[in-house]
Amino acid sequence: MDYGLTLALIGAGLAALLAGIGSAIGIGTAGRSATGVLSEKPERYGQMFIMVVLPGTQGFYGFLAAFLVMLKLNFFAGTGVAKMDALLGLEVLIACLPIAFAGLVSAIYQGKVCSGGILMAAKRPEMAFKAGVVYAVMVEVYAVLGLLVTMFMLLFGINWPAVV
């Protein structure tokens, strides 16, 4: 059994899974607030939509990291994946953890910030962008930093094996 490949794929899976779970929770949190507001003020749909989907970006970041790992492993070529020892597989797994955990946590908290922004925009629609979206983007910064750390480690910190 190729334990290195297994560890690398676990890392890719964790990046997509944890960031995706965070996005689902964040969107669910914001979505609950938006449906309450929209039941009384359906004309605010555009303002609400941005704040509901914003926590979904972390799921895309996790997917991007997982896709990058699979590309580096020659996963999609159909000619066989790269062989790697367990230590190298562990390096890949560890490199995937920043976006996995930053994506999970930031998406959940971004959903909470967006939920607050949605409730504020219900009473003060002129503040929807200024406070609702801008504050939510501040949380997003940490997911982007997690993605960057993961990408830097995957692209520059790992000596990927040749495909056999």
CATH number for position 46: 1.20.120.610
Residue 127: per-residue pLDDT: 81
pLDDT < 70 positions in the chain:
1, 163-164
pLDDT at residue number 121: 86
Q: Evaluate whether residue 18 is within a structural domain.
A: yes
Q: What does the alpha-carbon distance between residue 153 and residue 92 come to, in Å, rounded to a whole number?
A: 8
Burial 83-110 (b: 16+ CB within 10 A, else e): ebeeebbbbbbebbbbbbbbbbbbbbbb
Please report the pLDDT score of residue 164 as a whole number. Answer: 57
Tell me whether residue 56 is in a domain: yes
Which DSSP category does 85 fall into? -
Residue 162 domain flag = no
What is the domain extent for residue 117? 3-156
Identify the pLDDT of residue 118: 92
Instruction: Indicate whether 73 belongs to any domain.
Output: yes
d(CA 126, CA 129): 7
CB distance 136 to 51 below 8 Å:
yes
Number of domains in the chain: 1
| 100 belongs to a structural domain | yes
